[in-house]
A = this chain, B = another copy of it.
Amino acid sequence: MKRLITIVLLITTVSFTGLGQRKIVNLPDLPGYVTLKCDFHMHTVFSDGNVWPTVRVGEAFRDGLDAIAITDHLEYLPKKDFIPVDHNAAWKVAEGVAKEFNLILVHGAEIGRSMPPGHMNALFIQDANLLAVDSVMDAYEAAVKQGAFIQWNHPGWKSQQPDGIPRMYSIHQKLIQNGWLHGVEFFNSDEYYPLVMTFCKQYNLAVMANSDNHGVISEKYVPPVYTNRPMTLVFAKARTHDALREAMFAGRTLAYFKDMIAGKVEYAQPFFYQCISVSKPFFGNDRNIYFEVTNRSDIPFYLVNGVANAPASITLAANAVTRVAVSKKVTDPLVYDVKNVITGENEVLKIELKY
């Protein structure tokens, strides 16, 4: 066999990294913690998803994630004529592959009911089959007995809340009183719910971001519209299953999607300052002083509402150095609102550039 045409591929930094490589997601650790990139909500052919569980491991590996949970529905099983029901099947299929890819696989399931209470994920369970019971409170209790972290999914989902506004009902209050609710999704799929910030701050719940993916991640989150799936950033003491679980129950999370971060100020503020560094002035003339701000993260930051005589707004592009010219007339500290770091229903992070 002779080859008429030889095509040698140019492998470059922009090309597909292939199945063998894990993308580096440029997000900083916090002092004392490692930042784990996680997605705790996705489906497979074992409920209403369209892929085999190992596909979820491969996707997460290539996306640079540290942990995922496969959370097939316990009730909605449209493929059951072809695939017999075993609520632990996805876990069994994916577990070994996850180990080979150095991915933390969290055992999970989605407990679905009409609103209230809506849909909840039980994470860190041992046996999903025990959760498939008639009474939803019994299902939660079975999960909690297994040590589950309970996450309220997409509370403003329009199929269950047509106006898109999340509401706390008495059953949610009861879960909180029982200590049975631990996190709420701020980002889900391609939606987000600002009011979730109020719930999480009031009841000390973890702010979550997940894909809830049913199809193929790379077909849904397509650049340039999407640069990444929603992910929950968890600040853990180590990159292990147990440290991840501890951090989530402690509520040490931020929600990340596209160019937005949402979460509590106590995590958002140090996270922002870990992303950027401000240089000393490198040049000056009669009118201006020039300095540089280096943003080594994948997240651009949009600084707005500058003080008098300072730039009204500054975009700190991701993975880039931004040159800032400041008038010599500026005397106030260079404080800004970071438009895309959301710390409350109507609140964004305030920061200062110190050069």
A17-53 vs B, CB cutoff 8 Å, 1 = contact: the mask equals 1101111100000000000000000000100011110
Interface: A296 (CB within 8 A): yes
The stretch among A81-89, A110-118, A246-254 that forms the contact with chain B is: A81-89
Q: Please state if A320 and B22 are interface contacts (CB–CB under 8 Å).
A: yes
11 A-B pairs within 8 Å (CB atoms) are namely: A4-B348, A5-B339, A7-B258, A10-B259, A11-B317, A20-B315, A21-B317, A52-B79, A84-B84, A99-B283, A101-B323
Which residues of A, 71-105, contact B by the 8 Å Cβ criterion? 79, 82-84, 86, 89, 93, 99-102
Q: Which chain B residues border A100 with CB–CB below 8 Å?
A: 283, 290, 325
**Distance of A66 from chain B, by nearest CB (Å):** 11
Q: Which chain B residues border A51 with CB–CB below 8 Å?
A: 50-52, 55, 216
A292-323 vs B, CB cutoff 8 Å, 1 = contact: the mask equals 10101011101000000000000101111111
Q: Which chain B residues border A86 with CB–CB below 8 Å?
A: 82
Interface: A326 (CB within 8 A): no
Number of copies: 4
Q: Please state if A23 and B166 are interface contacts (CB–CB under 8 Å).
A: no
Q: Which chain B residues border A15 with CB–CB below 8 Å?
A: 222, 224-225
Query: Which residue on chain B has the smallest CB distance to residue A285?
Result: B100
Contacts A5-B339, A216-B219, A321-B24; is A225 near B10 (CB within 8 Å)? yes
Which residues of A, 310-351, contact B by the 8 Å Cβ criterion? 315, 317-323, 325, 339-340, 342, 345-346, 348
CA distance A55 to B49 in the complex (A): 10
Query: Which residue on chain B has the smallest CB distance to residue A223?
Result: B14
Q: Please state if A11 and B300 are interface contacts (CB–CB under 8 Å).
A: yes
Q: Which chain B residues border A283 with CB–CB below 8 Å?
A: 99-100, 102
Contacts A1-B195, A55-B51, A102-B290; is A318 near B10 (CB within 8 Å)? no
Contacts A15-B225, A219-B216, A300-B13; is A322 near B21 (CB within 8 Å)? yes
Q: Which chain B residues border A215 with CB–CB below 8 Å?
A: 55
Q: Which chain B residues border A5 with CB–CB below 8 Å?
A: 260, 339-340, 342
Query: Which residue on chain B has the smallest CB distance to residue A49?
Result: B52
Q: Please state if A93 and B82 are interface contacts (CB–CB under 8 Å).
A: yes
Interface: A202 (CB within 8 A): no
Q: Which chain B residues border A9 with CB–CB below 8 Å?
A: 10, 225
